[in-house]
A and B are shown apart, each in its own frame.
Chain A
Amino acid sequence: MLLCIIRREILNGFLSLRLPFTLLLVTAVMVSAAFLFLEDYQQQLVDYDRNIQDNIQKVSQRAKGGLASVFSHSHQWVYRAPTQLAFLAAGHEKNMPNAFEVNAFTIENPTRRLRENCFLRWSEDLDWTFVISVIMSFAAIVLVYDSISGERESGTLRLSMSNPVPRSTVILGKYLGAMIMLVIPLLVGMLFSMIIITTSGKVSLAGIDWVRILATVLLSLLYLSIFVLLGLFISSLLRSSAASLVLLLLAWTLIVVVIPSVTSVIAARFSELPSDRVLGRIANTAWNKARQEHGARYPESANRSTRVWWPKYSLGRHLYCSDAEMAVYRDYWDQMVSDVRFGYNATRISPCVLYRRAAESIAGSGIDHHESFVKQIWQYRASLRDFLVSHYPLELHKLYDTTEELERLVFATLSKVKFTGADVPRFHDDPIPAGDAMRNSLWDIAILFILNFVFFMAAYISFLRRDVR
């Protein structure tokens, strides 16, 4: 009986053009998105490798000048690696800083050094998450809006209820039928996308990546099922299918368009991020306080660019001061991340936000990637420091700038410390481990499950109580 209802639903969807349209649209978008992703990813890899090579070359050139020239006032650029699973969820990474300037003392200048046009309007990334969260959810609504109210209007509901079919079977059949109708375009689109991506040879997916892709597929089903259940609920609640459509479109607009776009407003509203000027002042105070603690008599000017370590200065003091200063910047960057996270949390009432966050976590992109990138930069800075301190041939806390002779002597001693560029630690942005990525998404998935359950109960109860006439 269940099968019979499902078959009828699918046939109905096929004849009313909804299924063919969805199939066509989703496949077309997924295929073009896959090609665009490949092209883009390839380019990103090339750029990333070139930047890394440039950096290595620069460091080894400086290494010839000894310790002083690698570490005094020269920075290295470290870059965020392109995310391989960005085709699942790109997570707006193009709009986030992908490069920092680092040396043993400071981390500064978060910049977007990309082949990207910051003036180009970025509405959304064209990835699986976009296709599913916007297009497929819309299709889900169009598929089910008249599934019960329409049948009542045409009188067929009465006919099928006159047969010895329990209502639970009817609603289950309708639910499964709609889900199958969504799964067909979803799987076809994903299959095409995966074929294009894997046969290109530009992306090498490990076993664990396939688990992540599978998890994304299941997550997508969980998300779409919410819209189907919502559709069934409203469709059985309202008398006319036109009204049910209006209400559903309204709900869709709120969930998919309006609430996600409130995120940034909320995040900005409740943020207490200091302005650049204030931040500079705080950092400068921290620096000079540390300087005083370390026994320096004069405070230094607020101009950061003059505050570089010259070998003649005390290395110990400079490390100490820069730690104090960087703590301010670290708080600032952490604050940025937590502001954005706050915005997300405030808009998590929308399943669309939940879904996108979970998909980003699984793919290891977006704000999670940014956070892990920044964390790795801090570790890298620590390793640069260790390298510098372990190679420093002089007394860590002594000042050498009292006379010109002494200063020359310091330079001469430091230039004698020999090492090659290969000895200097290198930065590599490692992707988030699959286990952590999955763990990050657990909460969102759990909430999606609960929402599914709630909407299923709502749809079931309102259908049970419904008068079929």
Chain B
Amino acid sequence: MIWTIAKRELHSNIITFRFLVSLILSLALITASAYMFAGDYKVRLDKYNENVKNNELPYWERLGGIKVHCQIESGAERFPSPLGFLSTGSDKELGNTISGITFKKVPREAVGQSGGNVLMGMLPSLDMALIIRVVLSLLALLLAYDAISGERERGTLAVMLSNPVPRHQVLLGKLLGGMISIAIPLAAGLLTGLLVMLLYGSAVLDSSAWVRIGLVFLCSLLYLSTIFMMGILVSARTRRSATSLVILLFIWVVLVMLWPNMGSYVARQTLKVEDKSVVDTKREALEREREGKIEQVGERMRRAGLHPPDWFRFNRRGTSSGYSGDIPYPGALQYLERESMIWYVEGIKHIVPLKMEYADKVWELYRAYEEELRRQVAFSENISRISPAWTYYNAISALAGTDYGAYTRFMNQARRYRQQLVDYTSSRQGFSTRSFFTPMKLSDTLTYSQLEEMQSRYGNEAIEELQSSYWPKAPVLTGIPVFRHQPEPLTESISRTLPDITILVLLNIIFFLAAYASFVRQEVK
């Protein structure tokens, strides 16, 4: 019996104008958005590959590979999610490139938003989630608003119920028929979208991606059925279908268009975050403190009878001066002074731990700030979950790997990668020995007086020649870890979306029971 009713619903739905219009519109829009995404994705993928290649290249190419530990500087690149066409999520606002990962700094944020244009993060983007959230949910409403009140107005409800059909079967039949008619444009849209993506050939979908797509389809169905049930509920409770329509459209505009903005605003006002410039000022203070301590180290060493490199003795064009600023750069011992080597070796033993300590301190500062941000995001997401449209959006962004959670995962991975680099160096005693800044041995170096004698006798060229003979041609350090972004495993994504899916299922059940209760009590005349 359910099936008969469902079939009748389906037939009467399919021949309607609204069904045709929504089908065409969702097909056209999804195709267009998939096409635009595929083109965009190709660009992003190229950029990703280029950056990954760059990260794996030796940083100082002109030196022919990495010779010393202070040269180790790498980057991390986020793999663009091929499922972004389902939901762009926050992918455009959040960065995907981290450069300059060294022991000196814990990566804080990624940069490189939407093609580099910082003004464009503000503009909304067209994705499948938007089309389902807006267009198909309108279809669901339009199919549901007169499902009961319309039949009552036409009098067919009385005829139908004069047959020996239990009311719950009528309701279930209507639900089934309605859902099948909604699933048709949804499935058609999704399939064309996928087809366009695959034909364009920029994205490669593995088996886990297909499972994700299946889950997104399921979530979309759940969301649309929530809206449909809500429509049935209102339709069963109102006498005229015109009234039911007006009520439903107003509910729709509040839930789908208005609510998320309210959620963000309320979250901003209740859980305030600190001004970014305050955090930056605190960081600058920490950095000044660190520089002061570094200068103290230099002073202590000077008092202990060590001599800082004399930058003017050989009239060189260098800029680094002693320990007022940075640690030695590779090739700082251009003229192989023994005094400088001793000074540097002694220096890095103090400076490197200082730099690391302050890297952690700065990170601690930003971690606290980011924790505030995270709390605000969580709060705003929880508020927006009141609207099924945004529960749905959260769920599929997580499944597509384009939400804030996926970004934090990437950042955490990048931080672990920095730790790997640190471990690599410290396991080779790179932070406490001369291998930090030079491949030369102490015995290769000459004292100032020896150098001056050599300069006066053979000229600067001779010293440079001698220097380069000590500088190895091949890379010295090998096996430095490289970063490969590991997207979130399927099981984790699913467990993250479970609360949202549960909410949608619960909403479905609640609306169904409420619709049932009002339909049972309903006068059919």
Residues of A bordering B, CB below 8 Å:
16-18, 21, 25, 29, 32, 36, 39-40, 43, 47, 50-51, 54, 77, 92, 94-97, 99, 110-126, 130, 134-135, 138, 142, 146, 242-243, 245-247, 249-250, 253, 257-258, 260-265, 267-269, 271, 273-277, 298, 306, 336-337, 339-340, 343, 367, 370, 404
Alpha-carbon distance A465/B317, docked complex (angstroms): 87
CB of A180 to closest CB in B, whole Å: 18
Q: Residues of A contacting B17 with CB < 8 Å?
A: 242-243, 246
Interface pair B253/A134, CB less than 8 Å apart? yes
Interface pair A36/B265, CB less than 8 Å apart? yes
Interface pair B245/A269, CB less than 8 Å apart? no
Interface pair B261/A265, CB less than 8 Å apart? no
Q: How many A-B residue pairs have CB under 8 A?
A: 203
Q: Residues of B contacting A271 with CB < 8 Å?
A: 115, 117
Sampled A-B contacts (12; CB under 8 Å): A16-B242, A17-B247, A97-B118, A121-B380, A142-B249, A253-B138, A258-B126, A261-B123, A269-B40, A276-B111, A306-B319, A370-B119
Q: Given contacts A96-B118, A119-B94, A146-B242, list 18 more A-B pairs with CB under 8 A.
A: A36-B265, A51-B275, A95-B122, A119-B90, A122-B93, A122-B122, A123-B264, A138-B257, A242-B18, A245-B245, A250-B25, A262-B126, A265-B125, A268-B115, A269-B40, A275-B47, A336-B118, A339-B119
Nearest 4 A/B pairs, CB to CB: A264-B123, A92-B122, A95-B122, A113-B277
Residue of B nearest to A93 (CB): B122
CB of B379 to closest CB in A, whole Å: 10
Interface pair B120/A267, CB less than 8 Å apart? yes
Among B130, B142, B242, B404, contact of A261 (Cβ-Cβ < 8 Å): B130
Alpha-carbon distance A81/B245, docked complex (angstroms): 45
Q: Residues of B contacting A92 with CB < 8 Å?
A: 122-123
Interface pair A117/B280, CB less than 8 Å apart? no
Q: Residues of A contacting B242 with CB < 8 Å?
A: 16, 146
Pick from B124, B243, B264, B384 the residue with the most CB of A within 10 Å: B124
**With A113-B280, A298-B317 given, is the CB distance from A273 to B115 under 8 Å?**
yes
Pick from A95, A253, A264 the residue with the most CB of B within 10 Å: A264
Alpha-carbon distance A112/B124, docked complex (angstroms): 19
Alpha-carbon distance A276/B111, docked complex (angstroms): 10
**With A117-B377, A119-B407 given, is the CB distance from A265 to B250 under 8 Å?**
no
Alpha-carbon distance A16/B247, docked complex (angstroms): 10
Interface pair B138/A249, CB less than 8 Å apart? yes
Pick from A43, A116, A123, A343 the residue with the most CB of B within 10 Å: A123
Question: Does B246 reach chain A (CB closer than 8 Å)?
Answer: yes
Chain B 356-379: CB-based contact to A (< 8 A → 1; otherwise 0): 000000000000000001101100
Interface pair B374/A276, CB less than 8 Å apart? no
Question: Does B312 reach chain A (CB closer than 8 Å)?
Answer: yes
Alpha-carbon distance A96/B118, docked complex (angstroms): 7
Q: Residues of A contacting B262 with CB < 8 Å?
A: 32, 126
Interface pair B135/A119, CB less than 8 Å apart? no
Question: Does B476 reach chain A (CB closer than 8 Å)?
Answer: no
Alpha-carbon distance A265/B34, docked complex (angstroms): 12
Question: Does B92 reach chain A (CB closer than 8 Å)?
Answer: yes
Q: Residues of A contacting B258 with CB < 8 Å?
A: 29, 134-135
Interface pair A246/B142, CB less than 8 Å apart? yes
Interface pair B119/A367, CB less than 8 Å apart? yes
**With A17-B247, A258-B29 given, is the CB distance from A130 to B261 under 8 Å?**
yes
**With A16-B246, A246-B21 given, is the CB distance from A275 to B123 under 8 Å?**
no
Q: Residues of A contacting B380 with CB < 8 Å?
A: 120-121
Residues of B bordering A, CB below 8 Å:
17-18, 21, 25, 29, 36, 39-40, 47, 54, 90, 92-94, 111-112, 114-126, 130-131, 134-135, 138, 142, 242-243, 245-247, 249-250, 253-254, 257-258, 260-262, 264-269, 272-277, 280-281, 312, 317, 319, 373-374, 376-377, 380-381, 384, 404, 407
Residue of B nearest to A276 (CB): B116
Alpha-carbon distance A343/B36, docked complex (angstroms): 14
CB of B332 to closest CB in A, whole Å: 14
Alpha-carbon distance A54/B277, docked complex (angstroms): 10
Interface pair A123/B120, CB less than 8 Å apart? no
CB of B371 to closest CB in A, whole Å: 12
Interface pair B276/A113, CB less than 8 Å apart? yes
Alpha-carbon distance A246/B124, docked complex (angstroms): 25
Interface pair B275/A115, CB less than 8 Å apart? yes
Interface pair B125/A120, CB less than 8 Å apart? no
**With A95-B93, A119-B404 given, is the CB distance from A267 to B47 under 8 Å?**
no
Interface pair B119/A340, CB less than 8 Å apart? yes
Alpha-carbon distance A252/B123, docked complex (angstroms): 19
Per DSSP, chain B at the interface is helix
CB of A371 to closest CB in B, whole Å: 10
Q: Residues of B contacting A268 with CB < 8 Å?
A: 40, 114-115, 117, 120
Interface pair A276/B112, CB less than 8 Å apart? yes
Q: Residues of A contacting B36 with CB < 8 Å?
A: 265, 269
**With A123-B124, A258-B126, A267-B120 given, is the CB distance from A138 to B249 under 8 Å?**
yes
Q: Residues of B contacting A245 with CB < 8 Å?
A: 142, 245
Alpha-carbon distance A264/B124, docked complex (angstroms): 7
Interface pair A47/B249, CB less than 8 Å apart? no
Interface pair B122/A96, CB less than 8 Å apart? yes
Residue of B nearest to A407 (CB): B312
Residue of B nearest to A33 (CB): B265
**With A96-B119, A126-B262 given, is the CB distance from A119 to B276 under 8 Å?**
no
Among B115, B116, B119, B407, contact of A337 (Cβ-Cβ < 8 Å): B119
**With A120-B268, A121-B260 given, is the CB distance from A25 to B254 under 8 Å?**
yes
Interface pair B117/A340, CB less than 8 Å apart? yes
**With A119-B407, A122-B122, A123-B124 given, is the CB distance from A253 to B134 under 8 Å?**
yes
Interface pair B269/A39, CB less than 8 Å apart? yes
Q: Residues of B contacting A275 with CB < 8 Å?
A: 47, 116
CB of A141 to closest CB in B, whole Å: 9
Alpha-carbon distance A267/B123, docked complex (angstroms): 10
Q: Residues of A contacting B130 with CB < 8 Å?
A: 257-258, 261
Q: Residues of B contacting A111 with CB < 8 Å?
A: 276
Residue of A nearest to B263 (CB): A121
Among B115, B268, B276, contact of A40 (Cβ-Cβ < 8 Å): B268
CB of A338 to closest CB in B, whole Å: 10
Interface pair B267/A17, CB less than 8 Å apart? no
Interface pair A119/B373, CB less than 8 Å apart? yes
Alpha-carbon distance A43/B242, docked complex (angstroms): 45
Residue of A nearest to B374 (CB): A119
Among B21, B114, B373, contact of A247 (Cβ-Cβ < 8 Å): B21
CB of B151 to closest CB in A, whole Å: 14
CB of B367 to closest CB in A, whole Å: 14
**With A17-B247, A18-B246, A122-B122 given, is the CB distance from A265 to B40 under 8 Å?**
yes
Residue of B nearest to A130 (CB): B261
CB of A469 to closest CB in B, whole Å: 21
Residue of A nearest to B279 (CB): A113
Alpha-carbon distance A378/B138, docked complex (angstroms): 49
Pick from A96, A253, A339, A343 the residue with the most CB of B within 10 Å: A253
Interface pair B269/A36, CB less than 8 Å apart? yes
Among A99, A264, A273, A274, contact of B277 (Cβ-Cβ < 8 Å): A99
Q: Residues of B contacting A77 with CB < 8 Å?
A: 277
Interface pair B276/A114, CB less than 8 Å apart? yes
Q: Residues of A contacting B138 with CB < 8 Å?
A: 249, 253
CB of A328 to closest CB in B, whole Å: 14
Among B40, B265, B281, B407, contact of A54 (Cβ-Cβ < 8 Å): B281
Interface pair B125/A264, CB less than 8 Å apart? yes
CB of B370 to closest CB in A, whole Å: 9
Alpha-carbon distance A16/B243, docked complex (angstroms): 7
CB of B23 to closest CB in A, whole Å: 12
Alpha-carbon distance A261/B120, docked complex (angstroms): 11
CB of A291 to closest CB in B, whole Å: 14
Residue of B nearest to A35 (CB): B269
CB of A253 to closest CB in B, whole Å: 6
Interface pair A142/B246, CB less than 8 Å apart? yes
